[in-house]
Structure 1
C-alpha cells in the first residue's frame, strides 16, 4: 500500500467512529413503543407527540410529577430559577443513566466558583416511581416539542403503566 492509499485508509478509519457516534446520539426519536411507553433505538425512554399535540402518558404524567416535586427549585417547565439550574436540556444533554444517578443519589459541587447541592431522592417514591415520566417530560420540553403549560391532550394510561405505578407505590 502506497503512502496516499495508507493516508486515505487512515482517514476513513478515523471517520467511521464519528459517523457511528453521530447515529448514537439521537436520544429523542421514538423507534418503538411498548405498553404505552416509547423508547429510542438504544432502549432509552422518550416522548411521543402526535401531530395534533397529543402527548404520550409519560410526558403528561411527567409534567404533573415535575411540578409537584421539582419545580420548587428548578423553576416551572424546567426553565430553571435563581436557586437551581434549568433541567429541560439536561434530559437531552445528559446520559439517561447519569440523570437517574443524579436524581437518585444527589450531587454536590462546592468550590470557589459554585455551590451546588442536589439532594438525593432515592427514598422518595413520589419521585422514584415517576422518574422516567419526569425524564421524558423534560426531554420533550428540551426539544421544544411540548410548550409551557399543562399538555392539553394526552394518551390514556395503559394498564401496564397503572400496574407498575401501583406496585412501585406499594398498592
Structure 2
C-alpha cells in the first residue's frame, strides 16, 4: 500500500471511530427523551380532542412523526400492513410501558407461521424525542377518538414543546 492510501485509510478509520464513539447510547437518548418530552396527561388518555375535532399539539405532532417513521411498516393511520401489525389494535391491549419497551428495544417473533422483527429505536432521537406524541396519536386512534387521516384542526405548538424538542434534539 502506498503512503497516501495508508493516510487516507487512517483518516477514514479515525473519523469513523470518532463518529461511533460520539453517538449517544440507548440509555442516554431515552433519559433525555424522558426528561424533555411532554408527559402524558390523563393516564389512559394522553390526548385532548375538542368537540369540534381540534386535537392538542401532541396528537398532531404524533400524527406527523408517525407518518415520517412508523408508517413505512405499520401502514397509514396505524392500521397495519403486510409487514407489521395494526398499532390501533395493539394499543387496545398494550400499556404505555409495554409500547415503550417494544419501541426502545425492538421485538422479534419467530415461529413456524411467521418471522417478524421490529428494529429497536431507542437511540433514534427522531423517535425517542417524540415518543409521547406518537403514543398520544396512536392511543387516540386506538380508542376511536380520532379518525383516519390528518387531523383537521390542531392547537398551536406550545413553548414547552418547542423547548423540549430543542433540548432533546441537541439544539
TM-score in same-fold range (> 0.5): yes
92 and 47 in structure 1: CA distance in 2 versus 1, 3 angstrom threshold:
farther
Q: Which runs of 4+ in 1 moved over 2 A?
A: 89-92
Counterparts in 2 of 1:1-171, with a 5 A limit? 39-40=41-42, 43=43, 46-171=46-171
- TM-score with structure 2 setting the length: 0.74
In terms of fraction of residues, the more helix-rich structure is: 2
TM-score relative to the length of structure 1: 0.74
Between 1 and 2, higher relative CO (CA 8 Å, sep ≥ 6) is seen in 2
Confirm or deny: 8 A CA contact 1:54 1:152 kept in the other structure.
yes
Q: Report if aligned partners of 1:55, 1:154 keep a CA contact under 8 Å in 2.
A: yes
> What SS class does the counterpart of residue 48 from structure 2 fall into?
coil
Across the aligned residues of Structure 1 and Structure 2, the Cα RMSD in angstroms comes to: 1.5
Structure 1: gaps (5+ residues): 1-35
Q: Secondary structure at the match of 1:157?
A: coil
